[in-house]
Amino acid sequence: MRVRFAPSPTGHLHVGNARTALFNWLLARGQQGTFILRIEDTDLERSTKASEQAILDDLRWMGLQWDEGVEAGGSFGPYRQTERLRNYADHAARLLADGTGYYCFCSAETLDAQRKAQLAAALPPKYAGTCRNIPAAEAFARKAGGEPAVIRLRVPERREVAFTDVVRGLVTFHTDVIGDPVLVRSDGIPAYNFAVVIDDAEMEVTHVIRGEDHISNTPRQILVYEAFGYTPPAFAHLSLVMGPDHAPLSKRHGATSVREFREKGYLPESLVNYLALIGWSPGQNEELLPAEELARRFRLENVAHSAGVFDEDKLAWVNRHYLKLCAPDRLAELAEPHLRARGQVVGPLSAAARDWLEQVLPAMATSVDRLPQLADRLEAVFRPAGGPLESEPGLAEVASALAAELAGGLRLIDKDTFRAMAGRVKDRTGLKGKALFHPIRVILTGAAEGPELDLILPAIDRAAELSDSGLAPVASCQQRAQFATGLLNP
Ligand code: GLU
């Protein structure tokens, strides 16, 4: 089995296309097949190296490594269409020679006028066939004389083109609705429907898995296979990924590209696992499974042909699961850019600061959906001491008691130290429960809400002891208590 993902490098990798890549990858991995990556860059105006690189980078980030293709090599290369122009020209020459292809000299204006006339007559627009019957010798002479021409495929009349789509079942098109498609443009650049067939045939692709937006191209491509006597591959057209309103997922729904979800702080394994669940199910009432297990269970035949809706809440649920499983050192590494963006990390991290992050972050990861929320949780550590303290019942007493308790240099380095100290503050003030812990929280973390006190206060005091760590400076609990006392008991 040989499958391929064939992106056009004209923008970021859309999650719908990422799902197409994933389904190809799952099939290849699960069936010991070969996953090929081919770059379809024949749209010279819109293709860029930068977006090619971004697509490769996103695929690698998702862990969808390809066995053959650009940057990986293989014996069916080159894998970039602009490096295969010779193959397309040779193939076009074959079709011109046997008459299955012909030169068309119609100008853009002529074609446009014909199209408008057809639409006005309520006819489906298709090429009128003007140049179909120009005698070959005359057409070759005009072309040799410098007249610009495209090459079209002579589509057989009054015929059905049928194929059994692995996902959608039998699909039939009548050739009478298919105008003779352009195979090669006047500048010599092949059209998608031509290049894709030659490449899939030459690369010995056995299964073409792509978005259903290509389904109307498939009969045209089958006719091109026929024109060369090639056997078409199996086709599977995946339903598109929709937004919550059942319109194709687009910018107006919010994030659409792999890059954006990556920047929002989703883990690659979360996106992969979630995308696999759109229109497919691993069965046995299980959803959260590693990619290799998804691949083991994946069957193209079980992909739903109804549209799948992208549900970011569900993605967040999947991400919570993987954040909890994430190893501390990896979590620290993944979180670092987000902490840096918030000014919580300001320089190169020392080994001690890294240890600190590896201790603190896993505890916080149990209650967040996405990586940047780890920075929200850490605000309690990095908030400067003595933010505006509203006068509240108990605040002044608790501040004095805390300052007294911490004055001797006591560091709240763990849960037990904190709990013992809180017990003594309770004795000093006579306050308990919320009346005690709310003021402690406000004074020491600068906010009414945040992570568990017995988690965050040790985090604060351990960070306060670090110096030249790469973390932003952290005031100790003692400094915070003293500052608040000064403010509240003038
Ligand atoms: N370059 C095409 C696209 O990105 C590939 C379609 C196909 O897989 O045949 O839509």
- What is the residue extent of each domain of the chain? 84-238, 382-488
H/E stretch holding 58 reads helix 49-61
Kindly state if the Cβ of 179 falls inside 6 Å of ligand 1: no
Q: Which atom of ligand 1 is nearest to the CA of 217?
A: 9
**Cα 210 to ligand 1 centre (Å):** 7
Spot the catalytic one: 126, 251, 264, 314. 251
pLDDT at 385 over 70: no
CB 446 within 8 A of CB 387: yes
Average pLDDT of the segment spanning 138-157: 98
Kindly state if the Cβ of 220 falls inside 6 Å of ligand 1: no
According to the model, what pLDDT value does residue 392 have? 81
Q: Of 12-16, 57-61, 330-334, 390-394, where does mean pLDDT reach its minimum?
A: 390-394
According to the model, what pLDDT value does residue 384 have? 76
Which of 27, 38, 189, 196 gets mutated to test ligand 1 (max ligand atoms within 8 A of its CB)?
A: 196
Which of 8, 15, 207 gets mutated to test ligand 1 (max ligand atoms within 8 A of its CB)?
A: 8
> What does the chain come to in residues?
490
| pLDDT band for position 124 (cuts 50, 70, 90) | confident
According to the model, what pLDDT value does residue 307 have? 85
Kindly state if the Cβ of 6 falls inside 6 Å of ligand 1: yes
Q: What CATH code is assigned to 382-488? A: 1.10.10
CB 39 within 8 A of CB 9: yes
According to the model, what pLDDT value does residue 247 have? 92
Instruction: Supply the pTM of this predicted model.
Output: 0.93
Six-digit token string for 468 = 């030249």
Q: For this structure, is 251 an active site residue? A: yes
d(CA 452, CA 456): 6
**393 Cβ neighbours under 8 A, 6+ residues apart:** 435
What's the distance, CA 422 to chain centroid? Answer: 47
Q: Which atom of ligand 1 is nearest to the CA of 210?
A: 8
Nearest-CA residue for ligand 1 atom 3 is 7
Nearest-CA residue for ligand 1 atom 5 is 6
| pLDDT band for position 104 (cuts 50, 70, 90) | very high
Six-digit token string for 347 = 């320089």
pLDDT at 386 over 70: no
Kindly state if the Cβ of 37 falls inside 6 Å of ligand 1: no
pLDDT at 73 over 70: yes
Class of domain 84-238: alpha beta
Mean per-residue pLDDT of the chain: 96
Kindly state if the Cβ of 16 falls inside 6 Å of ligand 1: no
**Cα 20 to ligand 1 centre (Å):** 10
Instruction: Among 269-278, 300-309, 442-451, name the most confident range.
Output: 269-278
According to the model, what pLDDT value does residue 251 have? 92
CB 399 within 8 A of CB 354: no
